[in-house]
A and B are shown apart, each in its own frame.
Chain A
């Protein structure tokens, strides 16, 4: 459209606005907003808000080992961890510390995700809840261990790619640990057998080999 008179620029602007306004009646592309509390947009997988703690099965399977790396690395220093005196056994069967207190002050948390990035135990991950307003500024904004703990199934629901990858790594580590445990057990058994002089060395090594593989197979089956 070409206009060549004083005020033409203004008219052209109005034409543009009118086109956009009228266009919104037939072209849904031109409607750019949704009516928020009634309709919510689906969140992309990567979205992060505040951290949460992953557990397997139930709260006793909390992956956190109270290593305090996230507490150290948190740029806003909003994580507080107190180690429990009682240890628990983790998914690999190793004895690990566990947190007695694990608090995150989400009033201070700036959702950077560095805690999730540095966690070596795949325990702390970023949540996607966003309606976090409360009426009190202090106590309700400090999330305790019980509120932070969420199941692995929830983790799968919000970050499927990351969760599947994490699970496969953990399964791998578990398999390796079991293989090693079985091999260790077999070596021990062999060491116990060794002093008997009447068994020849070849027979001995053979028997160790078979028993070790049998153990591994058993471990994998369970």
Chain B
């Protein structure tokens, strides 16, 4: 055993390697032995917080034996603003713009998760038209979130620029829709208790229909560009495998859980909003590797398009907000609620406790990005640093939500 190894396992940020940690018994992952004949000198690398592959300010404390990862500890908190404490001082209405800033790519779904929780707490019901609008904007959000994710993932694999720019071009079309609807491209602040803030502007539905009908063309183009690419297949297949059992135990949700073959989509199981009215399928993977996670996103985009087509054609006229639902100065009855939706990244939940006053006694956000990172180390053990980068990329995190 070399001296370097001793130093690292005694000192350093994470207290050395703990092969016997009970956490490792979940996956059965242990350190594999390096048989290339070199002495097992270990090297500790601090990846991040300013590293382009960490998608924000996230740090991974990695210990490698040669190229092989023997330990990986994620370090959080660089973007911590404590939204939960802010919420305790804000009015129920004033929290909505803060939810935009959790997962700052998908503000619409964040709005919906929060608004749905408060609606359950105070017994409001969104109007029919508002429910359709919510489904439309949320599925549009899912479309561009997944497009961005596959773009970023390929960027991590070394496909610099092209796939990401193709994805961003499509995203921009949807953001234009959001801008003309809500006034802001990303920080939409659109949903309200009992409905939505403003009605669709004239001609918006036609523009949305055009974007939706053009979108399959983009997916085809994107798939022709990259899906069959041998480098992509070699880099992603069999990398970062997550078993079905571990995925469930680790609370992994969203596309990542489904890539491991678990049929669990909250749109289907909870049927929140009006999702039970739409005909769509839940794509499932069976290897649980990075490639499956990539394909799940592509397939989910196609399913979202199905929902959008139905919703855009069925949307009824009517009021956009329930006049009985109070927004300003809302004081829900004392009570406790946990409510969740299927956000593009997984299960986004809000746990709210009201004591009957104008701001929540306690508001907790269940961030899918954070919880999906629980098993990051298990997926990375025995892989290389370059693989760790794409495994992290395939998880789909946004640091605004991880650190809150």
Q: Tell me if chains A and B make direct contact, with any CB pair below 8 A.
A: yes
A contacts, CB < 8 Å to B = 6-10, 12-13, 15-17, 20, 32, 44-48, 73-75, 110-114, 117-118, 126
Residues of B within 8 A of A74 (CB): 94
User: Is A7 a contact partner of B230 (Cβ separation < 8 A)?
Assistant: yes
Beyond A45-B201, A118-B328, is A32–B95 a contact (Cβ under 8 Å)?
A: no
B136 at the binding interface (Cβ < 8 Å): no
Cβ-neighbour of B90 out of A45, A75, A118 (below 8 A): A75
Residues of B within 8 A of A44 (CB): 176, 179-180, 183, 201
Beyond A46-B179, A46-B181, A112-B189, is A73–B162 a contact (Cβ under 8 Å)?
A: no
User: Is A32 a contact partner of B201 (Cβ separation < 8 A)?
Assistant: no
User: Is A46 a contact partner of B201 (Cβ separation < 8 A)?
Assistant: yes
Give chain B nearest CB distance to A173 CB in angstroms. Answer: 20
User: Is A13 a contact partner of B226 (Cβ separation < 8 A)?
Assistant: yes
**Residue with the greatest number of chain B CB neighbours at <10 A, chosen from A13, A45, A47, A113:** A13
Residues of B within 8 A of A9 (CB): 226-230, 232-233
Cβ-neighbour of A114 out of B94, B166, B184, B226 (below 8 A): B94
Residues of A within 8 A of B229 (CB): 9-10, 12-13
Docked pose: A171 CA to B229 CA in angstroms: 65
User: Is A13 a contact partner of B93 (Cβ separation < 8 A)?
Assistant: no
Give 1 or 0 for each of B158-200: 1 = CB within 8 Å of chain A CB: 0000100010010010001001111110010100000001100
Binding site secondary structure of chain B: helix
Residues of A within 8 A of B328 (CB): 73, 118
Docked pose: A114 CA to B91 CA in angstroms: 11
User: Is B198 a contact partner of A46 (Cβ separation < 8 A)?
Assistant: yes
B1 at the binding interface (Cβ < 8 Å): no
User: Is A13 a contact partner of B187 (Cβ separation < 8 A)?
Assistant: no
Residues of A within 8 A of B100 (CB): 112
B112 at the binding interface (Cβ < 8 Å): no
Docked pose: A20 CA to B180 CA in angstroms: 28
Q: What residue in chain B is nearest A17 (Cβ atoms)?
A: B162
B317 at the binding interface (Cβ < 8 Å): no
Give chain B nearest CB distance to A72 CB in angstroms. Answer: 8
Docked pose: A6 CA to B228 CA in angstroms: 11
Q: What residue in chain B is nearest A3 (Cβ atoms)?
A: B228
Docked pose: A113 CA to B221 CA in angstroms: 38
Residues of B within 8 A of A7 (CB): 230
B225 at the binding interface (Cβ < 8 Å): yes
Q: Which residues of B, 382-396, contact A by the 8 Å Cβ criterion?
A: none
Docked pose: A45 CA to B180 CA in angstroms: 7
Beyond A32-B172, A45-B201, A48-B183, is A73–B91 a contact (Cβ under 8 Å)?
A: yes
Cβ-neighbour of A16 out of B90, B181, B224 (below 8 A): B224
Residues of A within 8 A of B91 (CB): 73, 75
6 smallest A-B Cβ distances: which pairs? A9-B228, A112-B97, A75-B94, A44-B180, A48-B183, A46-B183
Q: What residue in chain B is nearest A128 (Cβ atoms)?
A: B183
Residues of A within 8 A of B98 (CB): 75
Residues of A within 8 A of B179 (CB): 44, 46-47
Q: List 18 A-B residue pairs with CB atoms under 8 Å apart, sorted by A's residue number.
A: A6-B230, A8-B228, A9-B228, A12-B225, A13-B228, A13-B229, A16-B224, A44-B176, A45-B201, A47-B179, A47-B183, A48-B184, A73-B94, A75-B90, A110-B187, A111-B187, A114-B97, A118-B328
Residues of B within 8 A of A6 (CB): 230
